[in-house]
A and B are shown apart, each in its own frame.
Chain A
Amino acid sequence: MKNFKLSHYLNYIVIAIVGIVFTLLSFTGNVKSLYLLMLENILIAVLLSVSLSIVVGFLGELSLGHAGFMCVGAYLGGKASVLLEGVLGNTLINVIVSMLIGGIIAAIFGAIIGLPALRLRGDYLAIVTLAFGEIVRSIFMNSSKTSFGGSFGLSTPRYDKDYLFIVGFVVVLICLAVVQNMMRSKHGRAITAIRDSEIAAKATGINVTKYKLIVFTVSSFFAGVAGVLYSFTQYNVQSTNFSYNYSIEILVMVVLGGMGSINGSIIAATLITFLDVKLQTVLTGDLAVLQDFLYAIILIVIVIYNNAPGLKNFREGYNLNVLFDKISSRKNNPANIQDDEASWHRVPSKIQIDEVLSTKIQRDPTASIKPDKEGK
């Protein structure tokens, strides 16, 4: 391929390598089941944050109901797997089919929620989605014991943990491919145009209705799939787990990863879930009260580190980008970055707009004028 750029596919490669390493380790029996559970939680969090990042980061709408879509997926996908258990002989097919069912039903709900999103904006949409999440949760909580288990929770088939996380890795890769290919096409461009200025997007002929619906549908589909995966890892789906706290936790991952950055969301989801599980296992007994406290403190420190103006020089002098630049000794030319479709994350989003004035993008405007290289 002529235009092949390794950096476009780096995140797939990293995730695939991590997946293969863990698969090998688990088959040779070197991974404790505790870590496998943590890995599954991380994969679910990655799915959720990547799918939410297209709504919040790229479309620019605030959705607080992501746990609600996950809840729909978890209950309906879980129920489907219970019903299908005797019907479909193969476990793998059962898992895949129930994931599709959970995802598709969540996607339908996503489209329904997407419809008011065409009229509401900002805080109002956030309230509607928040209400949706709570409604879904309470419906499942009050269901009868025979349908969705009500307050006892829905028991799902116990699949082998050694294989489940491999399914998780594959789903994450698929989700990443879908989201990334969507955002790096003309359709992704239209979606970011809506975020930047809806009026101008309409005047430029972008079908805002269509794209908002697409984004909500795709986003909730993957949230539903994550929910099904969750129901398999937990064996028992409890509606209390899907409270709005969880939606906000997903939102925190997206915001910390940087709005409009898929890779950032993946990293933030991994770190936060790791931190969460680690705190729960390390601080036991009397120290358990410190779990939430430390978690909150660490989040605050991360946010301050990311945004405090006083730490700006430190951040820009010592970060991974600088490190990579040193290793690969490449020229840090903003022009190279900005025409590169994979580097959406270096283009600042609305949230960081005041920071734009001082980041490297404007540091040397003449450097961005470079000879024609693309279209020869």
Chain B
Amino acid sequence: MSNTVLKIENLGITFGGLKAVQHLNLEIKEKQLYGLVGPNGAGKTTVFNMLTGVYKPTEGKFFLNGENLTGKGQEFINHKGIARTFQNIRLFNNMTVIRNVLVGLHYQPEFKCGFFTSMFRLPRHFKVEKAMRERAKEILRIVGLEEERNILSCNLPYGKQRKLEIARALATNPKLLLLDEPAAGMNPQETAELMDIVRHIRDEYNITILLIEHDMKFVSGLCDEVTVLNFGTVLAQGNTKEALNDPEVIKAYIGE
């Protein structure tokens, strides 16, 4: 396979005395679909929060394409190419669907438009706005929300809000996309649709995807490799089928 996109070395974080995540080692190759699973409270979202700069890891490092991003700010990490969605949907509720995506496009170099350029309404402002709209519509088409682009995002049904979050993250042109329970609250049909979307995104944009999910069908259908976390430590790692059938993993999920 090709080169490594994300490399996590011995990553860990403690809150007071609680070791939320410890000794996490991961390596994700380019265009890989990687799963992060585990029971509730295992520390999966904490890993995401460390990778996106919400929390500063207390030990270990992680590298994106060889660049050390440990402990950097959220905006900086996003500009370097890690985008995420949230477990509890965090859309810009009072904005229309297309505006949500336009915010995601804000820092793209081709849509650069200075504060004073906008203030004085120079021709560049209009040109950029138009190009941004075109691009936003294109992204919405991928997730199948083009028709709904002019309604308020808080009025979208739950499943579509999840898709909009993916669209917004995609707009920031990431190299690595972190999806936090993308299929939560979706019906089987929507889940199947989402699987197609995720594959399409990876193939079309060469994006590497790391996802957290409780729906094991979804995980085994998409990911070729997984890491299973339990109480902040790695329980099993490697090929999806083998890892999910590991007796330790089954024990962690269902009990003895």
Which residues of B are interface residues toward A (Cβ below 8 A)? 52, 54, 74-75, 78-79, 83-84, 86, 90-96, 98-99, 102-104, 106-107, 111, 113, 115, 118-121, 125-126, 128-130, 132-134, 137, 147-148, 150-152, 154-155, 168-169, 171-172
A202–B76 Cα distance when bound, in Å, is 9
- Contacting B at CB under 8 A, from A147-202, are 178, 181-182, 185-187, 189-190, 192-193, 195-197, 199-202
Given contacts A338-B96, A375-B130, contact A199 B90 (CB under 8 A): yes
Give chain A nearest CB distance to B21 CB in angstroms: 19
With beta carbons under 8 angstroms apart, the residue of A192, A365, A369 that contacts B94 is: A192
Q: Are A349 and B115 within 8 A (Cβ)? A: no
Q: How many residues of A contact B (CB 8 A)?
A: 44
Which residues of A are interface residues toward B (Cβ below 8 A)? 3, 178, 181-182, 185-187, 189-190, 192-193, 195-197, 199-208, 214, 260, 334-335, 338-339, 347-350, 353, 356, 361-362, 365, 368-370, 374-375
Contact residues in A for B54 (Cβ distance below 8 Å): 199, 203
Give chain A nearest CB distance to B125 CB in angstroms: 6
The secondary-structure label for the interface of chain B is helix
Contact residues in B for A349 (Cβ distance below 8 Å): 94
6 contacting pairs across A/B (C-beta < 8 A):
A190-B106, A192-B95, A204-B103, A260-B94, A365-B155, A368-B151
Q: Are A205 and B95 within 8 A (Cβ)? A: no
With beta carbons under 8 angstroms apart, the residue of A186, A193, A203, A338 that contacts B52 is: A203
Contact residues in B for A361 (Cβ distance below 8 Å): 151-152, 155
A4–B75 Cα distance when bound, in Å, is 35
Q: Name which residue of chain A comes closest to B165, CB basis.
A: A200
Given contacts A187-B115, A338-B150, contact A375 B172 (CB under 8 A): no
With beta carbons under 8 angstroms apart, the residue of A3, A182, A347 that contacts B95 is: A347
A189–B83 Cα distance when bound, in Å, is 19
Given contacts A349-B94, A369-B147, contact A201 B103 (CB under 8 A): yes
Contact residues in B for A347 (Cβ distance below 8 Å): 94-96, 152
A349–B154 Cα distance when bound, in Å, is 12
With beta carbons under 8 angstroms apart, the residue of B102, B115, B150 that contacts A189 is: B102
Q: Are A196 and B93 within 8 A (Cβ)? A: yes
Q: Are A204 and B118 within 8 A (Cβ)? A: no
Give chain A nearest CB distance to B121 CB in angstroms: 6
Contact residues in B for A187 (Cβ distance below 8 Å): 115, 118
Contact residues in B for A353 (Cβ distance below 8 Å): 93-94, 154
Q: Name which residue of chain A comes closest to B146, CB basis.
A: A372
With beta carbons under 8 angstroms apart, the residue of B98, B121, B171, B172 that contacts A181 is: B121
Give chain A nearest CB distance to B28 CB in angstroms: 19
Q: Are A189 and B106 within 8 A (Cβ)? A: yes
Contact residues in B for A202 (Cβ distance below 8 Å): 74-75, 78
Q: Are B92 and A207 within 8 A (Cβ)? A: no
A347–B155 Cα distance when bound, in Å, is 12
Of listed A178, A196, A205, A362, residue having the most chain B CB within 10 A: A205
